[in-house]
């Protein structure tokens, strides 16, 4: 029999709950009753979300001596009230809206939602989400906008390739990067009015000179002035995006300069470059004390399946969408590490022990398996990082292999020899949803 001792939760004396909308918010303030001992006094007021009204709200809460203020993560509307109150209220909490839903079937109004939040807050029945400090918020904005512009540039390049296919020009079938030196020279010549495939093929540089005959065939099409007009606009947009990305990279390098040591440590891990290290730090920060174990970090990022058990049977749980910004950086790191001849590369394709012993044993990791960047939460300043073992200090780390279909559409193959059991050194504790940490809002 398991004995669990839980201390009775103390009632928080002065709390406030905010139900936030775009144009207004409703604040419920609950404080001890001055005349009747043991009773509560409740006040509900509505404020506009303009700066003047929010300053009035802050002054009111400060005058009432509020020690805990709770609000839902509603779109981006929570940010102005939170940023104004976080320095005034001792415990300014942002909570996951899914975890503070009212009882189904009851009336739902802004006032009732604010009262419900305040009652949950005073009973200690809510958990705060992680809201990064100011420096991390600014770094996160820069890194996310850089990734957005990079994705937009990729989409524009795909439009260029689609335009060339429309003109029967198969340049991408011969040149791996049509936006390199040779490919860009040919595209600029097409815009300038050059239509002779032999002349266009002669613009090839370096190793591409050996493919002139193939390029001549690929450049034979029906490219017209209409296509040249569109191509010029697309290339101008690509150049503008490239310039903006370079400016953002310079600004990010300046913003992350105080943490250059952590960036260098992450850069030593196979698959993670400088850009990936910057994005990881922007998303999870450098203070890993908020995550007791690597499993807590995996769960917070929503990359661990939810536990679902009923009638003694365990059902498969979905991992959810997770943090797309952190997921993008980790995905690129996994692909890069899988191409290296290191522990992480062997872990992605199978067992490193089996790889060293030459045994034909392999397995796919579960979705909650730590990724190559699992070393990040164990990176104290000054600790050495081993690129071969993928460990920092004494904590193991493994690549994040996925059992989902491969990039070419074929299902991932699984094989497991009966004579080779799994390596116990690769065993990690399963992340827990009930760890007491909520996901940070996007």
Query: pLDDT, tens digit, for every residue of 389-437?
Result: 333 333 333 333 333 334 444 444 444 434 444 444 333 333 333 333 4
Position 316 scores a pLDDT of: 81
Q: What is the pLDDT of residue 38?
A: 74
CATH value of 15-123 in 3.10.129.10, 3.40.50.970, 3.30.420.10, 3.40.50.1260: 3.30.420.10
| pTM higher than 0.85 | no
Nearest to 352 by CA among 396, 297, 404, 298: 396
Fill in the DSSP letter of residue 404: S
Q: What is the 3-state secondary structure (H, E, C) of the chain?
A: CCCCCCCCCCCCCCEEEEEECCCEEEEEEEEECCCCCCCEEEEEEEEECCHHHHHHHHHHHHHCCCCEEEEECCCCCCHHHHHHHCCCCCEEEEECHHHHCCCCCCCCCHHHHHHHHHHHHHHCCCCCECCCCHHHHHHHHHHHHHHHHHHHHHHHHHHHHHHHHHCCCCHHHCCCCCCCHHHHHHHHHHHHCCCCHHHHHCCCCHHHHHHHHHHHHHCCCCCCHHHHHHHHHHHHHHHHHHHHHHHHHHHHHHHCHHHHHHHHHHHCCCCCCHHHHHHHHHHHCCCHHHCCCHHHHHHHCCCCCCCEEECCEEECCCCCCCCHHHHHHHHHHHHHHHCCCCHHHHHHHCCHHHHHHCCCCCCCCCCCCCCHHHHHHHCCCCCCEECCCCEECCECCCCCCCCCCCCCCCCCCCCCCCCCCCCHHHCCCCCCHHHCCECCCC
Residues of the chain with pLDDT under 50: 1, 8, 352-355, 357-378, 380-441
Per-residue confidence (pLDDT) for residue 364, from 0 to 100: 36
Output the pLDDT for position 3: 54
pLDDT, position 7: 52
Q: Please give the pLDDT value at position 375.
A: 41
Tens of pLDDT, residues 134-173: 999 999 999 999 999 999 999 999 999 999 999 999 999 9
- The confidence score (pLDDT) of residue 2 equals 52
């Amino acid at each position: 029999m398991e004995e669990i001792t839980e201390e009775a939760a103390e009632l928080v004396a002065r709390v406030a709950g905010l139900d936030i909308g775009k144009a207004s918010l409703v604040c419920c303030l609950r404080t001890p009753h001055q005349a009747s001992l043991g009773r509560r006094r409740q006040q509900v007021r509505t404020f506009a979300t303009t700066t003047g009204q929010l300053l009035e709200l802050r002054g009111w809460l400060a005058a009432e001596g509020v020690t805990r203020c709770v609000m839902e993560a509603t779109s981006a509307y929570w940010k102005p009230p939170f940023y104004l109150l976080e320095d005034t209220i001792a415990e300014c909490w942002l909570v996951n809206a899914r975890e503070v839903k009212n009882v189904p079937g009851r009336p739902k109004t802004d006032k009732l939602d604010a009262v419900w939040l305040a009652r949950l807050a005073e009973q200690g029945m809510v958990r705060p989400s992680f809201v990064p400090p100011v420096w991390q918020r600014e770094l996160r904005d820069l890194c996310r906008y850089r990734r957005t512009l990079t994705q937009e540039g990729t989409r524009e390049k795909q439009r260029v390739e689609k335009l060339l296919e429309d003109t029967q020009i198969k340049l991408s079938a011969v040149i791996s990067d049509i936006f390199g030196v040779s490919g860009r020279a040919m595209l600029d010549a097409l815009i300038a009015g050059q239509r002779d495939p032999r002349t266009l093929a002669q613009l090839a540089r370096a190793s591409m000179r050996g493919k002139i005959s193939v390029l001549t065939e690929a450049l034979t099409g029906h490219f017209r002035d209409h296509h040249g007009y569109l191509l010029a606009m697309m290339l101008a947009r690509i150049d503008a995006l490239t310039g903006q990305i370079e400016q953002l990279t310079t600004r990010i390098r300046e913003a992350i300069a105080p943490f250059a040591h952590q960036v260098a440590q992450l850069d030593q891990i196979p698959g993670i470059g400088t850009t990936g290290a910057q994005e990881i730090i922007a998303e999870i920060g450098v203070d890993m004390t908020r995550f007791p174990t690597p499993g807590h970090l995996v769960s917070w990022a929503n990359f661990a399946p939810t536990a679902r058990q009923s009638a003694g049977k365990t059902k498969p749980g979905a991992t959810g969408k997770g943090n797309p910004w952190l997921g993008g950086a980790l995905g690129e790191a996994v692909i890069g590490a899988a191409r290296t001849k290191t522990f992480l590369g062997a872990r992605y394709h199978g067992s490193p022990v089996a790889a060293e012993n030459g045994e034909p044993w392999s397995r796919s990791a579960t979705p909650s398996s730590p990724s190559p960047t699992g070393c990040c939460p164990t990176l104290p300043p000054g600790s050495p990082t081993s690129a071969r073992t993928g460990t920092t200090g004494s904590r193991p780390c493994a690549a994040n292999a996925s059992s989902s279909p491969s990039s070419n559409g074929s299902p991932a193959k699984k094989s497991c020899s009966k004579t080779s059991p799994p390596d116990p050194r690769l065993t990690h504790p399963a992340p827990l949803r009930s760890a007491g940490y909520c996901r940070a809002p996007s």
